[in-house]
Amino acid sequence: MTNLPLTGRNAVVTGAASGIGAAIAERLAADGAAVALVSRRQDRLDDLAGKLGPQAFGVAMDVTSPDSVDAGVAQIHDRLGRADLVVNAAGVMLAAPIEAGRLDDWTRMIDTNLTGVLRVVQAFTPDLIEAAGAGQTADLVNISSIGAHAVFPGYAVYGATKAALTHLSTSLRADLSPYDVRVTNLEPGLTDTELATHLDATGQDLIASMNDQIGPLHATDLADIVGFVVSRRRELNLRQIIALPTRQA
Ligand code: NDP
């Protein structure tokens, strides 16, 4: 049997129902990992997992709900065992101009993009530390955004969640590197996914015109990067990566 780069690895990918998370799950499975695909839409996860083979399975989990996370993590441990590769790609981007004062939308973004990541980190950090302690390669990969640095008017809270996630990744690396757990923060630019479908018609038009002008990344571009990062020898940690379409300033 061919030894693939990730044979023997046990991966968890949130946001795997679509876009970047789905492409990453597909790539990790193709490279030999067992993969738990996580998001809220079980049907989408099951469809994709079915295409990826017997080592892939879907787990419905809402990262904003502690009960849902507890139940999902228990299912993952039952089927996968100890996770040694965790990718946080679940996220939501809503246009929430400050003057509109949409506390509900701000809260949803903070709860998904930041607290949701922390819930997943809390659930799997013991696994990662144990796997690394047993001599295995152990990875935490967070999908942040170029919005952590660039300013997009009307998207202050989304940008703030991503700036916080980027800073969190840096801090987590300091905390986890003594255990030989690697942490990678990936900041994509404009990428063609379902992310914009949660915006109103004006927001969707804006993204469509940016897509026309810039030419977005494909989710598979980011999956290629993650596949590369997690298959390096365990002494090498690619900590921070910004991946932009060539024409995105
Ligand atoms: P998609 O909308 O295609 O994917 C988002 C994923 O997150 C979906 O699979 C969705 O599945 C899941 N999700 C959303 N809310 C929750 C929740 N509460 N619990 C669990 N899963 C959830 O967009 P992208 O692939 O583009 O987004 C992936 C990440 O990439 C996000 O963090 C986004 O901020 C980031 N990003 C995207 C960029 C872009 O231009 N597209 C640029 C930079 C960063 P479900 O609905 O089934 O829960």
> How far is the C-alpha of 134 from the C-alpha of 142, rounded, in Å?
23
Cα 96 to middle of ligand 1, angstroms: 17
Question: 228, 31 in Cβ contact below 8 A?
Answer: no
Please name the residue whose Cα sits nearest to atom 44 of ligand 1: 145
Catalytic residue list contains 179: no
Nearest to 24 by CA among 169, 143, 181, 179: 143
The Cα angle at residue 31 between residues 60 and 162, in degrees rounded to 5: 55
In this prediction, what percent of the chain has a pLDDT beyond 70?
Answer: 99
Q: Could you read off the pLDDT of 130-141 as tens digits, one per residue? A: 999 999 999 999
Cα 90 to middle of ligand 1, angstroms: 4
**CA of 205: how far to CAs of 93, 100, 110, 190, 199, in Å?**
15, 20, 25, 14, 9
> Which tokens go with 195?
């992310």
pLDDT at 3: 87
For the Cβ of 190 lying below 6 angstroms from any atom of ligand 1, the answer is yes
Residue type present at position 221: D
Please name the residue whose Cα sits nearest to atom 32 of ligand 1: 91
Give the DSSP H or E segment for 75: helix 66-80
For the Cβ of 21 lying below 6 angstroms from any atom of ligand 1, the answer is yes
For the Cβ of 195 lying below 6 angstroms from any atom of ligand 1, the answer is yes
pLDDT at 49: 98
Please name the residue whose Cα sits nearest to atom 10 of ligand 1: 15
* pLDDT band for position 209 (cuts 50, 70, 90): very high
Question: 29, 14 in Cβ contact below 8 A?
Answer: no
Please name the residue whose Cα sits nearest to atom 6 of ligand 1: 15
> How far is the C-alpha of 104 from the C-alpha of 101, rounded, in Å?
9
> How far is the C-alpha of 94 from the C-alpha of 96, rounded, in Å?
6
> How far is the C-alpha of 228 from the C-alpha of 222, rounded, in Å?
10
> Which tokens go with 67?
């009960």
Taking all residues of the chain, what is their mean pLDDT, rounded to a whole number? 96
Cα 62 to middle of ligand 1, angstroms: 12
Structural domains of the chain sorted by starting position, each given as residue range(s) with its CATH number in brackets: 10-243 (3.40.50.720)
For the Cβ of 143 lying below 6 angstroms from any atom of ligand 1, the answer is yes
Question: What b/e string do you get for 134-162 counting C-beta neighbours within 10 Å, with b at 16 or more?
Answer: eebbbbbbbbbbbbbeeeeebbebbbbbb
For the Cβ of 161 lying below 6 angstroms from any atom of ligand 1, the answer is no
pLDDT at 213: 94
Cα 91 to middle of ligand 1, angstroms: 4
Of 125, 158, 168, 207, catalytic: 158
CB-hemisphere CA count at 13 Å for 92?
21
For the Cβ of 82 lying below 6 angstroms from any atom of ligand 1, the answer is no
Q: Could you read off the pLDDT of 213-232 as tens digits, one per residue? A: 999 999 999 999 999 999 99
Q: Could you read off the pLDDT of 49-102 as tens digits, one per residue? A: 999 999 999 999 999 999 999 999 999 999 999 999 999 999 999 998 999 999
Q: Could you read off the pLDDT of 7-63 as tens digits, one per residue? A: 999 999 999 999 999 999 999 999 999 999 999 999 999 999 999 999 999 999 999
pLDDT at 1: 54
For the Cβ of 112 lying below 6 angstroms from any atom of ligand 1, the answer is yes
Cβ-based burial of 104 (10 A; exposed 0-12, middle 13-18, buried ≥19)? exposed
The structure's pTM equals: 0.98
